[in-house]
Each structure stands twice: as structure tokens, then as C-alpha cells.
Amino acid sequence: QGQLVESGGGSVQAGGSLRLACVFSKYTYIGDYLAWFRQAPGKQREGVAAIASYDLSTRYADDVKGRFSISRDDANHTLSLVMNNLKPDDTATYYCAAGQKFACWGLQSDQCDYWGQGTQVTVSS
């Protein structure tokens, strides 16, 4: 549907950094909650980070705390994820998601309503 479009994936060595961006539609109301999820081959999709529009409160998965930072720029309709000190276990397809349910902010993927197409992140050792 094109409400969310990711960019910024790529290949990097362990310890390196990447910045992902997600442009969200200014014509469709996609909810107050934006989040990043990821899915590695053979694994279930898992939540990475989320942010609310009304107070910019954030939530992070335990294994990315202190390394990843989520932010949003509503004026430019952009969600960002800065990833530092990347590890090979961070290799996955990363998805931008949005929704109105608080559980989407809670990183429950089935509670988010809108999804991007995904962008690949590969971290080599």
C-alpha cells in the first residue's frame, strides 16, 4: 500500500554502524505508534524498538539497548533507527511498522497495522 517505505540497509562489519529510515504516509493516518521489527532467516519476527507520537516514549528489545536508538520526525514523516556496535546476530531483514494499538508500541507484531517492505542488514564478523 506504500504507507511505509524503508531505506538504509546494507552490509557492515561487526562493530560498525548503520542508519535505517522509514518514510511514512502524510495522507493516511497510521496511528500513534511506530516501531522497527526484524526477521532473520529461519526465525520469527521480533521487535526491536518503538516510539510513541504523543510523548516520544521509547521501548527497546533487551539485546539492542544501549546500541540502537529510535527517533521520529513527524514534520518530515520519517522514522529512524541508528544502529551502533552492530553484531552478526543483528543480521536480518528490518521492517518499519505502525499502528494505533498500544501493543504495537509493546512490540507485538500482530498488533501493528501497517508494514514496510523491509530492508536487509548484514553484519559480518
Give the residue from 34, 58, 49, 42 showing the smallest Cα distance to 92. 42
Which grid coordinates belong to 81? 533507527
Instruction: Write out pLDDT tens, residues 21-66.
Output: 999 988 888 899 999 999 999 999 999 999 999 999 999 999 999 9
Q: What percent of the chain stands above pLDDT 70?
A: 98
Which pLDDT belongs to residue 1? 54
Distance between CA atoms of residues 95 and 35, nearest Å = 8
CA dist 60 and 76 (Å) reads 23
Neighbours of 124 (CB within 10 A): 11
Bridge partners (DSSP) listed for residue 40: none
Cell of 105: 508500541
> Residue 58: beta bridge partners?
51
